[in-house]
Chains A and B, each alone.
Chain A
Amino acid sequence: MYSEKVMEHFTSPRNVGEIPDADGIGEIGNPICGDIMRLYIKVNNGKIEDIKFKTFGCGAAIATSSMVTEMVKGKTLEEAMKISNKAVAEALGGLPPNKMHCSNLAADALHRAIEDYKKRRNGQGNAGTAS
């Protein structure tokens, strides 16, 4: 049911783990629906310098998480924001139809991490001017 590429990412997922001093964290899903993805990003010069994930979910959930980290590492935030869930699925050679919605949320988690980074930076920026 899964493409070889999905199975390959499921078997050897890239960038698993956490970044303790992450610049942004994005999470999506909940335990009730059976999928939770959490992405950590480290940003340098407007680029995603490092990215890691932790995922609770099915094969598709793990593979899309892994794929999105591979797709955006080294990319600018603007480029990363343009990556869609659909693009992640396509990069994996497609997903079974029933997985397109419930387990294909990795790009959303990434966008949340970037938003979190921007929010934090704005917060810091303000603090900076005050000091």
Chain B
Amino acid sequence: MRKVYLDHSATTPVRPEVLEAMLPYLKENFGNPSSIHSFGREAKKALEEARERVAGLIGARPEEITFTSGGTEADNLAIIGTAYANADKGRHIITSSIEHHAALDSAQFLLRHGFKVTFLPVTPEGLVRVEDVAAAITDETILISIMHVNNEVGTIQPIKEIGRLAREKGIIFHTDAVQSVGKIPVNVDDLGVDLLTASSHKIYGPKGVGCLYIRKGTRIQPQLHGGGQERKRRPGTENLPGIVGFGKAAELAGKELEEEAARLARLRDKLIDGVLERIPEVQLNGHRTLRVPHNANFSFRYVEGESILLSLDMHGIAASSGSACTSGSLDPSHVLLAMGIPHEVAHGSVRMTLGKDNTEEDIDYVLEVLPGIIERLRAMSPLYQRRASN
């Protein structure tokens, strides 16, 4: 059976070149970067090279990169670390209602610990309004945290405009760029961010490694306590093979970004146009153009997301859904609900995220299989029947 992986926003495979680059650091170059002997020095050199590569991808200085165990840890460090380091200046934080749970739950944690948090609404297309950010700012505001690209609907937020606003008001600005780094151009100076989260496994690097960009001069309180690694911001012996892999993945992503983004955008448009043409009563969630090249998110009326995913999986197609069944709670995706999408439409959502190995033929295959799946499930659905008899 043909296998089509369309869940690249969940994770990506490690590229062969990345694995190749990592292997020596699992074998002969196993040293601890903190050691002074030759093994340690070799490791330290690799660590700093990786740091340069990651910094290079986002226009940062190497010393501004703090490696972490991934995006979740970086978001926690950015949000909670900034709040505690700057609590003497105020205790108000602004974020959005469509953030990844790593950011959302960090903000919720602060809310339980005496901070005030504003969760901004979004437009029906999933965009934060700059004027809403401006209106939420008070003398107490110490941090604004808005994601660069939403992981579910792929919308690209007005980070540059928010960055300008934050700079004017002297407020620290964090962006979770896990879904944008390596996919679209990301430059910390251009965006005007003080803190930026990135992750390795979304860009064909290994899992378990990410980073927080911390602009020079930004106060942050470490969330882990231990040795002096990562300028004391993130103690613990470095995950060197992972970091080297992240570095290699970042280097390759930067080199191929322009061409790959254009190719994926063409495939994505083919997918979106094809689905909207071939299947009645379907909507595209998110913004049509302010959207990362690899994301498509649809709601199919009268059917439920998990049953679509199971059916796709039986045809070798891997996707994800914002239905309650896949969110682990009784509610469907908080992102779709925040966009004002009714529960029953959110339950029928399917996210398809493209990547490096997807081809034109993959999209043809999805377009061939999907209409039948939706038709079969609709034939079983009491909602569809009810509508047709009206």
User: Which residues of A are interface residues toward B (Cβ below 8 A)?
Assistant: 2, 7, 10-11, 13, 16, 18, 27, 31-38, 54-62, 98-99, 102-103
| Other contacts beyond A56-B304, A57-B304: 19, CB < 8 A | A7-B310, A10-B310, A13-B380, A18-B385, A31-B343, A33-B343, A34-B323, A34-B325, A35-B304, A36-B382, A37-B382, A54-B381, A54-B382, A56-B382, A58-B305, A58-B306, A61-B304, A62-B380, A102-B330
Residue of B with least CB distance to A57: B304
Partner of A10 from the list B307, B324, B332, B384 (CB cut-off 8 Å) is B307
**B347 in contact (CB, < 8 A):** yes
Instruction: Check B330 against A27 for contact (C-beta < 8 Å).
Output: no
Instruction: Check B382 against A34 for contact (C-beta < 8 Å).
Output: no
**B379 in contact (CB, < 8 A):** yes
Instruction: Check A58 against B325 for contact (C-beta < 8 Å).
Output: yes
Whether A32 touches B381, Cβ cut-off 8 Å, given contacts A59-B306, A102-B324, is no
Instruction: Check A56 against B306 for contact (C-beta < 8 Å).
Output: no
Instruction: Check A56 against B325 for contact (C-beta < 8 Å).
Output: no
A73 vs B383: C-alpha distance in the bound complex, in angstroms?
24
How many Cβ-Cβ contacts under 8 Å join chain A to chain B? Answer: 70
A54 vs B332: C-alpha distance in the bound complex, in angstroms?
22
Contacts of A103 in B (CB 8 A): 325
A58 vs B348: C-alpha distance in the bound complex, in angstroms?
10
Partner of A54 from the list B305, B310, B330, B380 (CB cut-off 8 Å) is B380
- Chain B residues touching A, range: 20 to 34
Contact with A along B356-378 (1 / 0, CB 8 A): 00000000000000000000000
Nearest Cβ on chain A to B321's Cβ, whole angstroms: 10
A2 vs B306: C-alpha distance in the bound complex, in angstroms?
12
Contacts of B343 in A (CB 8 A): 31-34
**B63 in contact (CB, < 8 A):** no
Residue of A with least CB distance to B326: A58
Nearest Cβ on chain A to B331's Cβ, whole angstroms: 9
Instruction: Check B383 against A31 for contact (C-beta < 8 Å).
Output: yes
A20 vs B381: C-alpha distance in the bound complex, in angstroms?
16
Contacts of B310 in A (CB 8 A): 2, 7, 10, 59
A54 vs B389: C-alpha distance in the bound complex, in angstroms?
14
**B302 in contact (CB, < 8 A):** yes
Contacts of A55 in B (CB 8 A): 380-382
Contacts of A56 in B (CB 8 A): 302-304, 380-384
A13 vs B343: C-alpha distance in the bound complex, in angstroms?
26
- Which residues B284-342 have CB closer than 8 A to chain A? 302-307, 310, 314, 323-325, 328, 330, 332
- Which residues B233-287 have CB closer than 8 A to chain A? none
Instruction: Check A38 against B314 for contact (C-beta < 8 Å).
Output: no
Instruction: Check A32 against B306 for contact (C-beta < 8 Å).
Output: no
5 pairs of A and B residues whose beta carbons are closest in the complex: A31-B344, A58-B306, A54-B382, A58-B325, A34-B347
Nearest Cβ on chain A to B61's Cβ, whole angstroms: 45
Contacts of B382 in A (CB 8 A): 27, 36-38, 54-56
A38 vs B386: C-alpha distance in the bound complex, in angstroms?
11
Instruction: Check B328 against A36 for contact (C-beta < 8 Å).
Output: no
Contact with A along B160-195 (1 / 0, CB 8 A): 000000000000000000000000000000000000
Supply 29 A–B pairs (Cβ within 8 Å), ascending by A: A7-B310, A11-B314, A16-B380, A27-B382, A31-B344, A32-B343, A34-B304, A34-B323, A34-B324, A34-B325, A34-B332, A34-B343, A34-B344, A36-B382, A36-B383, A37-B382, A38-B382, A54-B385, A55-B380, A56-B302, A56-B382, A58-B306, A58-B307, A59-B306, A60-B325, A61-B304, A61-B307, A98-B328, A102-B330
A35 vs B381: C-alpha distance in the bound complex, in angstroms?
10
Interface centre among B303, B307, B314, B343, by most chain A C-beta atoms within 10 angstroms, is B307
A43 vs B302: C-alpha distance in the bound complex, in angstroms?
29
Interface centre among B324, B343, B379, by most chain A C-beta atoms within 10 angstroms, is B324
Instruction: Check A33 against B330 for contact (C-beta < 8 Å).
Output: yes
Contacts of A10 in B (CB 8 A): 307, 310
Nearest Cβ on chain A to B370's Cβ, whole angstroms: 17
Nearest Cβ on chain A to B308's Cβ, whole angstroms: 10
Instruction: Check B344 against A32 for contact (C-beta < 8 Å).
Output: yes
Contacts of A99 in B (CB 8 A): 325
Residue of B with least CB distance to A96: B325
Nearest Cβ on chain B to A20's Cβ, whole angstroms: 11
Instruction: Check B314 against A31 for contact (C-beta < 8 Å).
Output: no
Nearest Cβ on chain A to B341's Cβ, whole angstroms: 12
